[in-house]
Structure 1
Amino acid sequence: MQVLKFGGTSVASAENISKSCDISLRALENGLVVIVVSALGGTTDALIKAGKTAAEGDVAYQDILQQLEQRHLEAAEELQLPPAPLDNATALITDGFLELHRLCDGVAALQELSSRTLDRLMSYGELLSSQLVELHFHRLQPDAVWADARQLIRTNSRFGNAEVDVLATEKLVKDFQAQHPNASWIVPGFIAADAHGTTTTLGRGGSDYTAALLAAALGADKLEIWTDVSGMMTADPRLVRGARPIARISYQEAMELSHFGAKVLYPPTIQPVMKRGIPLWIKNTFAPDDYGTLVEVEPPRTSASVQGISSVGNLTLLNLEGSGMVGIPGFSMRLFAALARERINVVLITQSSSEHSICVGVNAADTTPAQVAVDEEFAVEIAAGRIEPLRPERGLAIVALVGENMKDHPGISGKLFGALGQNGVNIRAIAQGASEKNISTVIRAEDVRKAINVLHEAFFEATYKQVNLFLLGPGNVGGKLLGQLARQQAHLLEHLGLQVRVVAIANSRHCLVNEEGVDLAAWPEALAEAPPLSLTDLTELIIARNLRNSIFVDVTANAAAAACYASLLEKSVAVVACNKVAASSEYTNYARLKSLAKEFNASFLYSTNVGAGLPVISTLNDLMRSGDVVRRMQAVLSGTLNFVFNNYDGSRPFAEVVRQAQAEGYTEPDPRLDLSGTDVARKILILAREAGQVIEMSDIEIETFLPPACLEGDVEAFYTQLAAHEAHFRALFDAAQATGARLKFVARYAEGRAAVGLQQIPPGHDLYDLRGKDNVVLFHTDRYDELPLVVKGAGAGAEVTASGVFADIVRAARL
């Protein structure tokens, strides 16, 4: 004997009923079948709604019932039954809905819907669907019989969620089998009857339970649950795209997963078949050839430590604490007794070893009655100050790792906590049984999607890590960066295991957002049509989307953008900044951002602040981490100024050379930042801070070579003044030329003091042969005393700067 249960989606239409009957017919090749049927998909909810609407005195229940009746009549007609069975089906449906109308009329008259009446109302869903299936299946298998579950399953009179009398049920089932020894059965799920013959129900999902009870009573060879997914999944596929079916799993693991939200299986279902050792197979009605999931006593051992990740939402933590609890027996008993009296189910329990507190998780709907019950139970202790009043913490959820093999694999908990911590998912409570089949964590409900994806990536998708970028400033450098990302996406995935997606691109006028990843081949056109979004709104969007491994990439020089970093770091969003404003701001702000990055385990990287794509800051960091001490630094840190003075020879105006530098993308958007020395001062300030110095911008001595008039007005006025002061620039060049020197704008740091200014560099000096737009930094340290450590290379240009930002993104992604 085999028991096959078909869920609501599997019988939601005539077409689906036909598919389910075809599956059952194939199963007959291996012996007789018992077919357990749910109501047509959505029917139970509609019947509940009709009853509640009637109880409110609203006649709209009539429309609900009429629509349901019409749906059932259409399903009967679409099954293309012969005339006599069709007439029979029509009569059954019509009579059933006449009774439903009478029931709801009575409810409307009384304006009261009892649990007993509601059970009676809900029962019609399964009664009608199972008889439709029987009429269709009877054509294929004439010996099949319809069996009323109310005559097979005996329960108590606890309406809404009745408890089964297993011994009485087994006797009734075996008696029915004796009466029909060679017949297959079609049975309505979910419904039963008490000792008085009154209709009861087994709770939502009870059709699975019906099937398990019948399988156990019959000693079936197997129980098959036919649904709309191909088995139990490693995670909820609505939350995790990469979720995949679990081929074979133990009863214990299935129990854990079903308890924590694996909707494909109703938790009590497993108990009757687990007790008898009956295999349970979860299959897909719409893909019957898929293997599905086989639940068995001892599945084959695998190397996988975790079988699945599950979650349950709408949780409240209740924390009972107080010094009066320490060392006093009986508090736990009284807490659970108080909750039990109110029939409140405890989902999770954890207690500190100090005995100072007990924490339990309950369904959110039970929060108020639980709080009242516990506060009443401990009223004397609360009044005496020995215990604090119960403190509910709402808006939580449980995410659980499940697997038999976890007990044999050290480091699972560490991997779990590390993955969540790196993504800013705070754990409010932890529970783990001694069997180590389940590690449950309580987190904020809004973090569930991110947490499950992070954990699924860590335990099931070791091949890649998804990284989500939010890019601000797709201008010259930002545009080059997007191009580099587009070209390197496949390489990053193949060689580094990074699936890098640009989720948002924003400028001062538009913000393009696509959570599945912006098309990097067509982003300019899409951005031009995107709506505007303020920096504040963009920050809130990044936080609200709460995507795993999020990185904010700031490719601007905007102070307002830098002001957003703290809010993002506090949410464990990594920040990669081409923008120098933050790192060169007041020292307290710089230190705070560094501290936030460390506290919330989020990268704050800004390598391109000094040297564009050169590894200047990373080299300095390596020196400091290794215990070296920086004594002096001497550097040319402006690719712009180096380009300008390398190309200015008096043959053409100084202003023309500066315009060329700007046109070729070497300058800041406002070239005065470069030529005034401000940009170089920011860079040496950042290097001094990275070397451990507490220093402010006002401490940097800036020796400007520009006449004061050049710094007044707008950018065009600046160029006008450059042209007007050509004689001044020619004099600087001639003075250097006279001694064989070259002009370089040099940044210096020594023993806590820093300065920047134009210098005549004589032949033979380390800076003399610096060409084009190159930068160079000379680190004089305790280890590099006689000969400095030199970092040299192109220090300006959109392409090299973009490559530096790219490198920081990869560093942040791999942490």
Structure 2
Amino acid sequence: MAKPALPIVVQKYGGTSVGSAERMLEVAEIVKSNLKSNRVIVVLSAMSSHKKAEGTTSRLLEAAKEVLKPNSQRYLDIVNIIEEGHLKTIENAVAEGPARAEAERDVKAECSRLRSFMAAAEVIDEISPRSRDVMISTGEKLSARIFAALLQSQGVDAVYVNLEKLIEAQFDEKAIDQTFYDYLTQRLAVVIEGCGENTVPVVTGYLGPVPGSILSTIGRGYTDLTAALIAVGVAARELQIWKEVDGIFTADPRKAPKALLLASISPEEAAELTYYGSEVIHPFTMEQVIRASIPIRIKNTFKPDGDGTVIIPEGWVPPQHAESIECLTPGGTRIPKLGEDYLGSKTPNGNGLALSEDQKRPTAVTIKDHVIVLNVHSNRKSVSHGFFAHIFLALDRYGIVVDLISTSEVHVSMALSPNVKESKLERALVELRKYGTVDVIRNMAILSLVGKQMRNMVGIAGLMFETLAKHNVNIEMISQGASEINISCVIEEERAETALRAIHDECILGDICS
């Protein structure tokens, strides 16, 4: 009888998880321990330290800027630093032998190609978005190549997979939609299948020449997207995102000492938390996996024995486990349990505490800092229907994103994304003043209380605002999402941590919400 195929797990490791020889050796142990019961596919970011500016991708972007500076050869110095650092990693992580020698040759060759590419860009004095993509792709190629060699040197049948030629079809960069991502999913499935069932593919996060540039179309989180599309393409049992945190907490534990680790969370809640300040996983990346009913587990590379937090699709049922018992998550959603994997009471926080499984409560609270509030008050008593249209068209012209909005007939208040550029804001303000009086309030923060069960909780908004008042936190504006799983308000940034702790301890942990 043929041996049943092992379930597939896609593991994505961030830059700090593979940022040194020591870290790579520890990740190799994680991968090998998972091979006992799963087929593992590994996707890697470029190597990085705890300081983002010292990461390989940041250095490559800096080198790209230096290429265009007259008489500057600093880009060569940066490439030399990158090459030396990666060769040192090979020396300290990969045992002597054919795998190590081949990896050293490949790293030197890749860096040599990068120097030649940059020198050509210097001659023509131009770096296109696609050229910049090619430059930053070096980081993922180097880390994946080294890690594949490391596994090979430890007796694991691993293969380095470079995705730089993945895209073979033509797409209109102005019309990128789900069709493009479906195409990538199919191509990735073919590539992974070609590696062989008993091999560990070590895949670059870089997807190749994405129409319109990978940074513009997807952004720097493209490695997560690559892992997500692979998980969909191979019908993985689970997508694992390995980071520096234990999972998703009820609040930032650095600001709220009583914060608890969530055993599981819904995709809608995870998306809200990501948008309003918590670094979970990009909503679009998450959507690709969730629509295929694949759970996403957030785990800590530094504490691999922890269960992490699982983002579970609506109606998900574990494959080939029809006998699975249902359990109630901290958010109150009833989900199937696969062994001990998703059992909330088995997921403690640093104090050895766990969330109860039988309580309805908000799931988490988060803060988004450095917010700017714009108040526009019409200069007419009777406002035409075009008042709001003019305001939002002006903001759209300058690429200014509005996070929250509150309106009346003659007044609109908006909380702007912290990423707004000052120069664009100033130009937008000139245009906005044509339609009314404009006030700008800086140093604000958005506090968001999130929970799928909140739509069924009478009085939670009142409790939230009563708690803020009790702690002398003034509210500038209030907004509740149409989905009713998010209540947000804008407060002074200097009061943000006080507000976060108060809301967390009284609205999430408090007895009133039990």
Task: Give the drift of 1:173.
Answer: 1.8
Q: Structure 1: how far apart are the matches of 2:360 and 2:488?
A: 18
Task: Please give the per-residue CA displacement for 1:194-239, whole angstroms capped at 9, x wherever unaligned.
Answer: 3699998731222112111211222211101111111012222333
1:39 matched to which residue of 2?
Answer: 46
Q: Structure 2: how far apart are the matches of 1:127 and 1:390?
A: 49
Q: Where do 1:350-429 residues align within 5 Å?
A: 350-352=406-408, 354-370=409-425, 372-373=427-428, 375-376=430-431, 382=434, 387-429=435-477
Q: Which moved more, 1:234-243 or 1:324-333?
A: 324-333
Identify the match of residue 36 of structure 2 among 29, 52, 57.
29
Correspondence 1:19 to 2:33 = no
| Structure 1 spans left out of the alignment, 5+ residues | 464-815
- SS state of the match for residue 86, structure 2? helix
Cα distance change on mapping 1:374 and 1:158 into 2, 3 Å: farther
Identify the match of residue 227 of structure 1 among 235, 239, 243.
243
2:233 matched to which residue of 1?
Answer: 217
Identify the match of residue 311 of structure 1 among 355, 364, 367.
367
| Structure 2 spans left out of the alignment, 5+ residues | 1-7, 49-54, 315-327, 333-357
Matched AA of 2:59? A
Q: Structure 2: how far apart are the matches of 1:397 and 1:355?
A: 25
Task: Give the drift of 1:360.
Answer: 4.6
Matched AA of 1:429? M
Task: Please give the per-residue CA displacement for 1:268-307, whole angstroms capped at 9, x wherever unaligned.
Answer: 2211011111111111112111111011024732514121
- SS state of the match for residue 145, structure 2? helix
1:6 matched to which residue of 2?
Answer: 13
1:279 matched to which residue of 2?
Answer: 295
- SS state of the match for residue 281, structure 2? coil
Q: Structure 1: how far apart are the matches of 2:74 and 2:253?
A: 36
Cα distance change on mapping 1:166 and 1:244 into 2, 3 Å: same
Q: Where do 1:641-720 residues align within 5 Å?
A: none
Q: Where do 1:733-772 residues align within 5 Å?
A: none
Matched AA of 2:77? D
- SS state of the match for residue 2, structure 1? strand
Matched AA of 1:13? S
Identify the match of residue 445 of structure 1 among 493, 500, 509.
493
Identify the match of residue 94 of structure 2 among 68, 80, 83.
80
Identify the match of residue 185 of structure 2 among 148, 170, 173.
170
Q: Structure 1: how far apart are the matches of 2:35 and 2:302?
A: 19
1:67 matched to which residue of 2?
Answer: 81
Q: Structure 1: how far apart are the matches of 2:202 and 2:244?
A: 20
8 Å CA contact retained: 1:51, 1:107: no
8 Å CA contact retained: 1:156, 1:162: no
Q: Structure 1: how far apart are the matches of 2:407 and 2:216?
A: 38
Cα distance change on mapping 1:447 and 1:422 into 2, 3 Å: same
Task: Please give the per-residue CA displacement for 1:406-440, whole angstroms capped at 9, x wherever unaligned.
Answer: 12222222222223223332222211113221111
2:162 matched to which residue of 1?
Answer: 148
Q: Structure 1: how far apart are the matches of 2:269 and 2:506?
A: 19
Task: Give the drift of 1:328.
Answer: 3.2
Q: Where do 1:80-119 residues align within 5 Å?
A: 80-106=94-120, 113-119=127-133
Q: Structure 1: how far apart are the matches of 2:107 and 2:382?
A: 63
- SS state of the match for residue 192, structure 1? coil
Identify the match of residue 208 of structure 1 among 201, 224, 239.
224
Aligned CA RMSD, in angstroms, stands at 3.1
Correspondence 1:49 to 2:104 = no
- SS state of the match for residue 276, structure 1? coil
8 Å CA contact retained: 1:406, 1:436: yes
Correspondence 1:345 to 2:385 = no
Correspondence 1:434 to 2:482 = yes
8 Å CA contact retained: 1:193, 1:199: no
- SS state of the match for residue 347, structure 1? strand
Larger Rg: 1
Task: Please give the per-residue CA displacement for 1:115-165, whole angstroms capped at 9, x wherever unaligned.
Answer: 333322211111110111111123456543222233446896869x99981
Matched AA of 2:90? A
Task: Give the drift of 1:367.
Answer: 4.7
- SS state of the match for residue 479, structure 2? strand
Task: Give the drift of 1:110.
Answer: 6.2
Cα distance change on mapping 1:7 and 1:323 into 2, 3 Å: same
Matched AA of 1:45? S
Q: Structure 2: how far apart are the matches of 1:162 and 1:187?
A: 24
1:454 matched to which residue of 2?
Answer: 502
Higher relative contact order (CA 8 A, sep 6+): 2
8 Å CA contact retained: 1:191, 1:201: no
Matched AA of 1:329? H
Q: Structure 1: how far apart are the matches of 2:163 and 2:228?
A: 13
Task: Give the drift of 1:34.
Answer: 1.5
Matched AA of 2:32? L
Correspondence 1:270 to 2:289 = no
Q: Structure 1: how far apart are the matches of 2:212 and 2:268?
A: 36
Matched AA of 2:466? G
Matched AA of 1:247? A
Task: Please give the per-residue CA displacement for 1:342-398, whole angstroms capped at 9, x wherever unaligned.
Answer: 43333222223x35325352335335424534754x68xx2xxxx315443322221
1:121 matched to which residue of 2?
Answer: 135
Q: Structure 2: how far apart are the matches of 1:220 and 1:97?
A: 34
Q: Structure 2: how far apart are the matches of 1:358 and 1:462?
A: 32
Task: Give the drift of 1:21.
Answer: 2.0
Q: Where do 1:187-206 residues align within 5 Å?
A: 187-194=203-210, 202-206=218-222
Cα distance change on mapping 1:191 and 1:427 into 2, 3 Å: farther
Aligned sequence identity (%): 30
Cα distance change on mapping 1:13 and 1:392 into 2, 3 Å: same
Q: What TM-score do you get using the length of structure 1 for normalisation? A: 0.51
Q: Where do 1:221-620 residues align within 5 Å?
A: 221-298=237-314, 300=329, 301=332, 302-322=358-378, 324=380, 328-352=384-408, 354-370=409-425, 372-373=427-428, 375-376=430-431, 382=434, 387-462=435-510
Q: What TM-score do you get using the length of structure 2 for normalisation? A: 0.79
Cα distance change on mapping 1:363 and 1:196 into 2, 3 Å: closer
Q: Structure 2: how far apart are the matches of 1:320 and 1:396?
A: 17
